Structures are given as structure tokens and as C-alpha cells.
Amino acid sequence: MGAAPVLKTWDQIKGKPGDWPAILIGNGASMNVASTFNYQTLFEQACKMPNEHQLDDVDRALFAEIKTVDFELVLSHLRQTLLVARVLGWDKKHTDQVQGKYNRVRQALAAAVRTVHPQHGKIGEDRLKHIGLALMAYKWVFSTNYDLIAYWAAMKAGINNFYDFLGGQPCRFRSENVARAPGDKTKLLFPHGALHLYLATDGKYEGIVHKRVFDQDASILDQLLYLPEPPLIVAEGSPDDKRQVIYSHRYLTFAYEQLGRVRDQFVIFGSDLGSTDAHIVQALEPKGRRIAVSIRTSAKQAQKMARIRDVLSDADEVLFFSAETHPLGDPNLNVA
């Protein structure tokens, strides 16, 4: 059994500029800006959403029975139930009922994220620029978050310093965007989708991932209230289900597989690499890498570090640093 992992500061391991070319940011990065992105708040919001987005009594009973407010865990249970239903040959009425619950919980999560999302003005230009400049320290940025913080931050720090592989009129993912990727810009990708991404539902570009852009008359959050296309987010419960959705869209497939193609040292910030992230670890291909992982200081940090080191056991080296000492973990970024 190896020695207990040591928690360092970011300054102790960051080295020279460029030593850590790639970063994966998870929900911890967003929660450092707005604590409303935690599952407890999202669940409470989903219980009081209007109309079809609200979790009904049966939905809430599911959460209570599983003893969780984690949407992904509930979605995973529902998917397992559908699998059992197919094997046992349940009648269509009952199978459709489970599928309907699955769709409803998934839609409630997307609607809740949109509702609790702080407005651009509340986060403020200084915070967004701080985050954007922190992201510019990397050649590659992968975000598994649905929110708009990384996108807004890139715009505030200078969108010309970033490249997200989406362009043209309308702004969409195209093969040419990959071939034309400039070497001197920070590449920004969302392998789980995000609120600003959507699928065209008809016309010449049907089924292709598009990007909502700033409109003088309506922010992206406002656009979500009246534009017909729902945001493209991968909110499935299990890693296999997530992977299935990812591989059904060319942009998500590219973003996901790029995790493994970037063979540099990797920083993981704000992600616990839990069981629902197994597909991310697989895509990352830890073998042969040095990986630095942020840890939020807590009474359980030693157990968390030991578990993550086991998850990344194929890596050449796993280093841990205090999240609060990294620019993305700056406590002054918090607004709610």
C-alpha cells in the first residue's frame, strides 16, 4: 500500500507556463462561482418549476426512495428499470410510463440549471475576465458543465484568444473547423454539451450542433425561454448512456475523443471523477500521463484523494492541489 497522497498548493506544482497544457473543468468550478449549481438547490428548484418542467409527486417520490437529490443517480435507476422492462417483456403502457419519467427528470434538470443560472451582470465583468484569463493559460480546455460561465469568460477575456470549433453562418460544427484550428489559440470544448449549444431541428442543417450567440435584444439565458430548440446537454445517468448520446452527435464525439488525443499533462479541476464519470476517465486514457487534480479542503479530503488515485491508477503520477489556491478556485469569484 502506497503512502497517503499529499495535498499541495497550485503554485507548488504548476511549474513554468505551458507545463500543464490541458485542463478539464467540472461542476466544482461552476459552484465556486454560484453555489446554486449544487444538486440540492437544483432539486428544490425543479420541484417548483412551472408546467411540464416541474417534478411531480411521483418524481419526488423516486428521489425520496433512492434517498438522493442527485439527478444523474435517479436517471441511472430509471434506465436500469427500462433495461429490466425490455428483458422481462413489460407491456408498452408500463414501459412508456418509465420512459416518460426518465424524460421528465432529464428535462427538469435542464430547466432548473437554466433557472438558477446567475445573470451575466450578476457575475460581473471582472470575475468573468479573471476566469477567462485563467483558462487562457491552457492550450486545451474541456468543460463537462452545462452552464455558460466558461463561454462567457472566454468572450470577456477576448473571444479571439479562444477557438471552439463552431463557426460559419449559422454558427455550427463543421469538419472544416477542425482542419482550420489555429495553433496559437486556446481550444474550448464541451463534451457534455452546454446551454448555448443546440441541434437544428429542420432545414439544411438538421441534426447538426449549433451555437447560440449573443443577441443585442436577448441574452442566451433569455433566448432559452422562447426559442424552440432545447439546449444540447448530456444529462443521462450512467456512463454508458452518456457515451451513447455523445456518439450520436459529431461535435460531442469530437470533443469527447479529443480528451484522449491530447496526450499532454492534464489538470482536472472541480471534478470528483465519481462513478458517473467513468466514461470521462476512459476517454482521458490516464496511462502514461501526469495528472494534477484539485481537491476542496474538507474533513474527507484524504478519502477522496485516495479514491481518485485509485481511479487514475494507470497514470504515471497523480498530484493533488488545494482548489482554493488555483485561479479557478479563488473564493472571491463566488456570487451566490
Higher-confidence position of 5 and 251: 251
Per-residue pLDDT, 314: 92
Q: Is the pLDDT of residue 309 over 90?
A: yes
Distance of CA 297 to the CA centre of its chain: 22
Percent of the chain whose pLDDT exceeds 70: 96
Q: Per-residue pLDDT for 1 more than 60? A: no
Q: What is the mean pLDDT of residues 242-262?
A: 93
The residue among 4, 71, 6, 7 whose CA lies nearest residue 329 is: 7
Averaged pLDDT for residues 47-62: 85
- Residue 275 pLDDT grade (very low, low, confident, very high; cuts 50, 70, 90): confident
Lowest mean pLDDT among 29-38, 207-216, 249-258: 207-216
- How deeply is 267 buried, as exposed, middle or buried, from its count of CB atoms within 10 A (0-12, 13-18, 19+)? buried
- Residue 218: its pLDDT value, please? 56
How far is the CA of 58 from the CAs of 52, 232, 238, 314, in angstroms?
14, 26, 21, 42
Per-residue confidence (pLDDT) for residue 271, from 0 to 100:
94
Selection from 37-41, 127-131, 154-158, 275-279 with the highest mean pLDDT: 127-131
The pLDDT of 177-204, averaged and rounded, is: 90
Q: Which of 12-16, 199-203, 260-264 has the highest mean predicted lDDT (pLDDT)?
A: 12-16
Using pLDDT thresholds of 50, 70 and 90, give the confidence band for residue 94.
confident
pLDDT at 48: 86
Q: How far is CA 39 from CA 14, 63, 70, 77, 328, in A?
A: 31, 12, 6, 17, 20
Lowest average pLDDT, out of 25-34, 212-221, 224-233, goes to 212-221
d(CA 109, CA 143): 18
**For residue 143, which amino acid is it?**
S
The CA distance from 33 to 333, in Å, is: 5
Q: Compute the CA torsion angle 287, 293, 295, 299 (nearest 10 deg).
A: 20
Report the percent of the chain where pLDDT is more than 90: 51
pLDDT at residue 185 in the model: 95
**Mean of the pLDDT values across residues 307-333?**
95
Model confidence band, residue 169 (pLDDT cutoffs 50, 70, 90): confident
Selected residue with higher pLDDT from 273 and 201: 273
Residue 204 · residue 197 · CB < 8 Å: no
Band the pLDDT of 217: cuts 50, 70, 90: low
**Which cell goes with 89?**
417483456
Report H helices in 89-169. 92-116, 120-123, 125-135, 149-158
Tell me what pLDDT residue 175 has. Answer: 86
pLDDT bin (cut points 50, 70, 90) of residue 336 is: low
What pairing do the DSSP bridges indicate for beta strands 162-163 and 166-167?
unpaired
What pLDDT, on a 0 to 100 scale, did the predictor assign at position 201?
Answer: 75
Instruction: Give the CB-side neighbour count of residue 193, counting CA atoms within 13 A.
Output: 23
Q: What are the CA-CA distances from residue 126 to residues 87, 107, 120, 335 (Å)?
A: 55, 32, 11, 12
The three grid cell numbers given for residue 130, joined into one nine-digit string: 479573471
The chain-wide mean pLDDT, for the chain, equals 89
Residue 103 is predicted with a pLDDT of 82
Q: By C-alpha distance, which of 186, 174, 107, 203 is closest to 150?
A: 186
Which of 1-5, 69-73, 280-284 reaches the highest mean pLDDT?
280-284
Interatomic CA distance for residues 328 and 237, integer angstroms? 27
